[in-house]
Amino acid sequence: MSSGYGRGARILSVGIATTGLVTFAYFSVASHVLGPGAYGQVALLWSVLFVTVSVLYRPVEQLLSRTIAGRRARGLEHAHPLRTPALLQGGFALAFLVAALALRGPLQRDLFGGSEALYWILVVAVVAYAASYFARGWLAGHQWFGLYGGLVFFEAVARLAFALAAAVGLATGKTVVALGMAAAPLVSLVVLPWAFARRARGAAQAAPDRARGEELGLGRGGRFAAAVLVVMVAEQTLLNAAVLTTRATADAAAAGFVFSVLLIARAPLQLFQAVQGSLLPHLAGLEAQAGGAEVARAVRVTVLAIAGFALAVAAGLLILGPWAMDLLFDDPVRYGRAGLALVALGMGFHLMAGTLNQAALARDHAGRAAAAWAVGAAAFVGWLLAPVVDDALLRAELGYLGAAALVCALLAVVYRRGTSGW
């Protein structure tokens, strides 16, 4: 199973590394074809969209991945419980739709400056991502990581196509660039026919297993999903609170500058989805089969690799950071090399926290993990709102590093507490 995890992580890394570059290209192109104000609104839409979909849909993705992987580790290859995750996912999507329609006026007027188009792009994109994230959990649980990587790659390419259309003159304006966010989750589902065909071949070739009925009730699944929902809220707070608070206290252009510098963290975090996507089912399988020693080994190897990567990125940004930001983004602001390095170190702690979080979920410590993330997120928001550092960009850089380090430390405590349940 360890070799399978390594192979799966490598396959998924190729797809998501490419996806990260494509996503970075989307915002780089957008910053050049749009003015600072319009780019800030697109960046704000992205922040709101991915706060929403990560909070609403990642819990069910993680629930599916953990449940299917654990069953497969016990020799149960078929009849995986999908009804409860589907009900939860559909309920989350419906709740969002009702809330968004009820709050249309404030959202359209106050968040998007009166833009009806940006409001409807948000609504359509959030609803469409329900299916995309459900598919991710299903693919990860079966460890079909090539298809998982293909899903997120097609999503990113579809989004970039709209920005490129604006760049070459086929269309103009922020609405066209933003439309890519609504089209992307729908295009990502083109991988499903290959997944269904693979599942059908496996079912035809395999002998009947000891498939059981629904093992995942709404109570158990709902508790797990609720805990992961808190984790997702906290994680997105670390990534987006600085953009939102800057937009509230300054303007859209300043929020765009903060967003651009935090892309240093976003791009590797998107790449880390490759590790996360394969790590949770791997750890869930190890927990079911081999016990704590193998789980500890997998976590240790991943954390050490992350530490080395983060230090290398920080060193690179100390040398080339301002030049690279000037090249990639058409911003009037001058980014400081020390601040960029702080974000890189924060990214390292964030990635380590993500690894420890997956171990906590595999060991049924979802509630404790949620508490750790909530404390870190609350501390970050408190820092952003406190008048300690006047410069919004430096305040975001320092706060991100401190909050990520705090969450990582708290999750390390959770991880060391053993394998007892909730």
Q: How long, in residues, is the chain?
A: 422
Q: What is the signed CA dihedral for 358, 360, 365, 367, rounded to 10 degrees?
A: -60
pLDDT confidence tier of residue 419, bands split at 50, 70 and 90? very low
Q: What is the mean pLDDT of residues 298-310?
A: 83
Distance CA 301, CA 290 (A): 17
| Of the listed ranges 215-229, 263-277, 386-400, the one predicted with least confidence | 263-277
Separation of CA 76 from chain center: 29
Report pLDDT digits (tens) over 250-280.
666 667 777 777 777 776 776 666 566 667 7
Q: Check residue 205 and give its pLDDT.
A: 53
Per DSSP, 345 falls in state H
Separation of CA 197 from chain center: 28
Distance CA 203, CA 192 (A): 16
pLDDT at position 18 over 80: no
Distance CA 45, CA 107 (A): 11
Q: What is the mean pLDDT of residues 16-22?
A: 74
Which amino acid appears at position 309 of this protein?
F
| Of the listed ranges 305-309, 319-323, 391-395, the one predicted with least confidence | 319-323
Q: Check residue 175 and give its pLDDT.
A: 86
Q: What is the 3-state secondary structure (H, E, C) of 214-267?
A: CCCCHHHHHHHHHHHHHHHHHHHHHHHHHHHHHHHHCCHHHHHHHHHHHHHHHH
Angle at 273 between CA 15 and CA 362, to 5 degrees: 130
Mean pLDDT, the chain, integer: 79
Q: What is the mean pLDDT of residues 225-247?
A: 83
pLDDT over 70 percentage in the chain: 75
**Is residue 314 domain-resident?**
yes
Nearest C-alpha neighbor of 136 from the set 242, 50, 54, 61: 61
pLDDT at position 315 over 60: yes
Report pLDDT digits (tens) over 33-66.
887 788 888 888 887 898 898 889 988 888 888 7
pLDDT over 90 percentage in the chain: 21
**Is residue 364 domain-resident?**
yes
pLDDT confidence tier of residue 283, bands split at 50, 70 and 90? confident
Report pLDDT digits (tens) over 158-179.
999 998 998 887 877 788 899 9
DSSP 18-54: HHHHHHHHHHHHHHHHS-HHHHHHHHHHHHHHHHHHH
**Is residue 422 domain-resident?**
no
Per DSSP, 62 falls in state H
Q: Check residue 124 and give its pLDDT.
A: 96
pTM: 0.73
pLDDT at position 16 over 70: no
Are 360 and 415 spatial neighbours (Cβ–Cβ below 8 Å)? Answer: yes
Q: Check residue 254 and give its pLDDT.
A: 67
Is the model more confident about 15 or about 422? 15
DSSP 97-117: HHHHHHTHHHIIIIISTT-HH
Report pLDDT digits (tens) over 64-102.
887 887 777 666 666 666 788 889 999 999 999 999 999
E strand or H helix that includes residue 199: helix 192-205
303 Cβ contact list (under 8 Å, min separation 6): 352, 355, 356
187 Cβ contact list (under 8 Å, min separation 6): 154, 155, 157, 158
Q: Check residue 150 and give its pLDDT.
A: 86
Range of the domain at 370: 2-416
pLDDT confidence tier of residue 420, bands split at 50, 70 and 90? very low
Distance CA 79, CA 77 (A): 7
Q: What is the mean pLDDT of residues 319-333?
A: 62
Are 410 and 352 spatial neighbours (Cβ–Cβ below 8 Å)? Answer: no
Report in angstroms the alpha-carbon separations of 210 from 71, 77, 83, 181, 362: 10, 8, 19, 42, 23
Is the model more confident about 299 or about 163? 163
Q: Check residue 71 and give its pLDDT.
A: 73
Per DSSP, 173 falls in state S
**Is residue 344 domain-resident?**
yes
Using the structure block, give the residue that is written with the tokens 């319009």: 38
Is the model more confident about 418 or about 196? 196
| Of the listed ranges 24-33, 150-159, 262-271, the one predicted with least confidence | 262-271
**Is residue 384 domain-resident?**
yes
**Is residue 421 domain-resident?**
no
Q: Check residue 422 and give its pLDDT.
A: 34
Is the model more confident about 219 or about 185? 185
Question: What is the 3-state composition of the chain as percent helix, strand, coil, each rounded to the nearest 5?
Answer: 85, 0, 15
* Domain tally, the chain: 1
Is the model more confident about 136 or about 54? 136
Are 228 and 58 spatial neighbours (Cβ–Cβ below 8 Å)? Answer: yes
List the alpha helices (DSSP H) in 74-191: 83-102, 104-106, 116-141, 145-167, 174-188
Which amino acid appears at position 277 of this protein?
G
